[in-house]
Amino acid sequence: MKFLADDNMEGRDTGSPGLQRASAYVVDQLKRAGFQPAGTDGFYQPIKFRTRELDEANSSMMLVQGEKQQKITLGDDAIFSMRVDLAPEVNAPVVFVGYGLRIPELSLDEYAGLDVKGKIIVMFNGSPSNVPGPLSAHYNSGGEKARLMRELGVVGFITLPNPAAMDLPWSRIASSRLHPAMAIDDEKLNDSRGIQFAAGWNPAKAEMLFEGTGHTFAEIAALGKDRKPLPHFDLGKSIHAKTHVNSHKVESSNVIGKLPGTDPKLKDQYVVLSAHMDHVGIGEPINGDKIYNGAMDNASGTAALIEVAKSLKGVKPKRSLLFVFVTAEEKGLLGSRYFAAYPTVSIRSIVADINTDMFLPIYPMKSLIVYGLNESTLGDEITTVAKRDDVATMDDPEPLQNHFIRSDQYNFIKGGVPSVALKNGYEKGSLEEAKVKEWSHTRYHAPSDDLQQPVDLSAAAEFERIVRGTMIEVANAPARPEWKADSFFKRYANEQAAGQ
Ligand SMILES: [Zn+2]
């Protein structure tokens, strides 16, 4: 972690020399651990990206209501989102669509009776309380939302953060808006194709959108805080946006190593451990520091996997072990998206993915959060392994934040692979929860996520023990993990099987 989060790595931005140095270090560690290359170019799997960089001085946004034109202050009122290819000019009416969800399984359709074709939809982040976490996560994912918008003929969207569930203060969201965004330079893998406009709105400035509608943002936020159903209505205004976006090509690589299994039948199957190596690079200085070191996010996860790899000398697992260190997670899970689309071993041969992203060893580990705990038998295996050390497993305590789809495991899930992501646990209302909240507010995606912060090494060691133990159990078990019969995500495994 000291090496990976050193200032010399310059925050490991995708495509940067700093991330290249960090990746070379990971390759070197894998070689020392006796791993074999399993990329497309030795240990590397190079990926071509293109950047999206907003030329803000030549971009503008207006809120138009009849004769009245209100200039939107970029950064303060709203920001353009670079997760889509912004059209140079967009002029379209805005309509409020609540959470913007259509969930056939629950007969929930927030678009029923609304005319959204050719319009910009305004969505409040989250979901009503009758929507279970995994469904909420899936239908709130960028890919699913974009697919629905294409189907509805929507021009673009504005997201309103839920003030009760923001893990980043607006100031930090606004200050990172000029970081270059990226897309995989492969139109097949462009999930937001066809969407022409995207913006995020400062919740403290959101009343201006609702003026004159008979509704207020305060009312919406109060309902959203308790995950109550939201109203849907025309906002009686339109957005007129002009943007200038620059782009250039960037290359960055995943790093993949394997330890071959020893069982003649099972060695063609793989247990994957994954972690992202990249972070957000150099940015807006905070307290005079401009290097966003990403020590917890995710030098810690990368280091944990390296430690597990180094501990495997002399271990002879039945199934093969595949360590996948991905790039461009911070750009929208792009490295894992690419790996799942172009896997270096057949995706069907991957029996499980255990992902580690920012597991926060900042207090002693009493429990372990398992995102996806109840979705597959992999959750049960982790529970068994953790119990040996008196560590209890628990499901996501923050279902509103969509953690299950917010890191690289999601691309494995969509490939049909039973997957989990793990994190140091905390109970609601506990001292540990307060520490996590405090950490998020002060250090998450800030330069202070660096090597000066306190680390609980006992928690890190416990975490590694559980990850390693689970991996060995899965590698040696007679049967591969399976999705639970009632898991929503089982459908991807079925699609995968049908496609073969
Ligand atoms: Zn991360």
What digits encode the pLDDT tens for the residues 104-117?
999 999 999 999 99
Q: What is the 320 CA–ligand 1 centroid distance (Å)? A: 26
Q: What is the 229 CA–ligand 1 centroid distance (Å)? A: 31
From CA 150, how far away is CA 153, in angstroms rounded?
5
Q: What is the 421 CA–ligand 1 centroid distance (Å)? A: 11
Q: What is the 102 CA–ligand 1 centroid distance (Å)? A: 28
From CA 484, how far away is CA 187, in angstroms rounded?
34
Whether 402 has a pLDDT exceeding 80, the answer reads no
Q: What is the 357 CA–ligand 1 centroid distance (Å)? A: 5
pLDDT in tens, 119-130: 999 999 999 999
Whether 45 has a pLDDT exceeding 70, the answer reads yes
Whether 132 has a pLDDT exceeding 90, the answer reads no
pLDDT at 267: 98
Q: What is the 457 CA–ligand 1 centroid distance (Å)? A: 19
Q: What is the 361 CA–ligand 1 centroid distance (Å)? A: 14
Q: What is the 98 CA–ligand 1 centroid distance (Å)? A: 28
Torsion angle of the four alpha carbons 264, 268, 269, 275, in this order, in degrees rounded to the nearest 10: 130
| Distant-in-sequence, close-in-space partners of 148: CB < 8 Å, separation ≥ 6 | 102
pLDDT at 405: 79
Higher per-residue pLDDT: 140 or 309: 309
The closest of 295, 412, 427, 407 to 356, measured between CA atoms, is 407
pLDDT interval class at 165 (50, 70, 90): confident
Q: What is the 445 CA–ligand 1 centroid distance (Å)? A: 9
Q: What is the 219 CA–ligand 1 centroid distance (Å)? A: 33
Whether 96 has a pLDDT exceeding 80, the answer reads yes
What tokens were used for 307?
């430690």
pLDDT at 69: 95
DSSP H stretches of helix in 40-198:
133-139, 142-152, 170-175
**Model pTM score:** 0.90
Q: What is the 356 CA–ligand 1 centroid distance (Å)? A: 9
pLDDT at 179: 81
Q: What is the 280 CA–ligand 1 centroid distance (Å)? A: 10
Whether 349 has a pLDDT exceeding 60, the answer reads yes
Residue 74 near residue 56 (C-beta atoms within 8 A): yes
pLDDT interval class at 397 (50, 70, 90): confident
pLDDT at 500: 53
Whether 118 has a pLDDT exceeding 80, the answer reads yes
Whether 28 has a pLDDT exceeding 90, the answer reads yes
Query: Biggest alpha carbon distance in the chain?
Result: 75
Whether 134 has a pLDDT exceeding 80, the answer reads no
Give the residue carrying structure tokens 């009122």. 77
What is the mean predicted confidence (pLDDT) over 315-324? Answer: 98
What is the mean predicted confidence (pLDDT) over 336-350? Answer: 97
Q: What is the 329 CA–ligand 1 centroid distance (Å)? A: 7
pLDDT in tens, 246-269: 999 999 999 999 999 999 999 999
What tokens were used for 196?
């022409």
End-to-end CA distance of the chain: 40
User: What percentage of the chain reaches a pLDDT higher than 70?
Assistant: 99
- Protein residues placing their CB within 5 Å of the ion ligand 1: 297-298, 357-358
Taking only Cα atoms into account, the Rg of the chain, rounded to an integer number of angstroms, comes to: 22
pLDDT interval class at 10 (50, 70, 90): very high
pLDDT interval class at 400 (50, 70, 90): low
Torsion angle of the four alpha carbons 35, 38, 43, 46, in this order, in degrees rounded to the nearest 10: -160
Q: What is the 48 CA–ligand 1 centroid distance (Å)? A: 21
pLDDT at 306: 98
Whether 289 has a pLDDT exceeding 60, the answer reads yes
Average pLDDT over the chain, rounded to an integer: 95
pLDDT at 86: 97
Q: What is the 451 CA–ligand 1 centroid distance (Å)? A: 16
